[in-house]
Structure 1
Amino acid sequence: MSTRSSAAPTSSAPPSVQSALPPHGEGAAGDRFIQHNLEAAWPADLPAVDERVLLGAGRALLRADATGIGRTAWPQVFPPTGQAVTPAFATASFRIQAAIARRGTSPDTAVVHLVWAGTDRGGAFTDLRVTDWHFTRTSAKKGAATWTAQPRT
């Protein structure tokens, strides 16, 4: 006669811990996991139209900041200096991995959190870089609100 034990075997090994982030260097395939984790960590708190507008502006600002392309569209953030800007990151390797827009410290402020990857001028590739852009809501004519990017301090 045989008996079976329903008790689980005991082990001194710790349970396996799985990272919520994709492995380093996963490439674009890992971006959806980063986006999911960013959204889970900070649930949406803005109207969808505001979030859409802010995400577009935040992405454009980051691209302008990292690659130098499009800076003239943001004179309040990138004042004209009269000198050419050498981009810090190659346009071809620049990629936004994830982005969210959330309410700031007051109802009329917002922040766009971006996680991105790129190859710098020295040829070093880095992913999971984080940049925040802050915005202030201003009232335009006819009651429409607009979001204005704030210069970095």
Structure 2
Amino acid sequence: MSALPPHGEGVAGDRAIQEALEAAWPADLPPGDARQLLAMGRSLLRADATGAGRGRWPTVFTAGGRALAPAFARFRIQAAIARRAGGGGRAVVHLVWAGADRGGTYTDGRITDWRFTHITRKGSPTWTPLPRT
């Protein structure tokens, strides 16, 4: 496993973070599922952190009928993997990211996990994000 870069390394350190994630948690999903989950996980994280695209995920981004305010700027995903999460058609997308909070403090190495379940709708299997608990 490669050594992790120091905090603040910027884009130059992202590849080492990606390699460390992949080495620590070997792939266990079919490539098509992994691609779909990664795209959805990235979209969910971007919507969560910046507010952009939350309309695509109305069941995820409303709590008791009120929308949550975006909190981050200068947002960047540093690394991401999609893996099985137990049995029963569940998966998790693990993302490492960077962004500036409302106070302007830029921090890298932030971690977010999005959990998904595999369901079939109208005869077509798909991954659906699970609400946060």
TM-score range relative to shorter protein: over 0.9
- Equivalent residue, structure 1, for 2:116: 135
Unaligned runs of 5+ in 2: none
**Bigger relative contact order, structure 1 or 2 (CA pairs below 8 A, ≥6 apart):** 2
Structural mapping, 1:87-98, within 5 Å: 87-90=70-73, 93-98=74-79
- TM superposition score normalised by structure 2: 0.93
The residue identity in structure 2 corresponding to 1:150 is L
State the shift of 1:76 in Å.
1.4
**Count, aligned residues:** 131
Percent pairwise identity: 66
What is aligned with 2:21? 38
Partners of 1:76 and 1:149 within 8 A in 2: no
Aligned partner of 1:55 in structure 2 is 38
Structure 1 residues 82 and 76: CA distance shift in structure 2, 3 A: closer
Which has the larger Rg? 1
How large is the RMSD of aligned CA atoms in angstroms?
1.5
Partner of 2:92: 111
Greater displacement, 34-43 / 133-142: 133-142
Higher strand content, 1 or 2:
2
- Rounded Cα–Cα distance in structure 2 between residues aligned with 1:107 and 1:32: 32
Q: State the secondary structure of the residue aligned to 1:94.
A: strand
Detail structure 1 runs of 4+ shifted over 3 Å in the superposition. 80-83
CA distance in 2, matches of 1:82, 1:96: 26
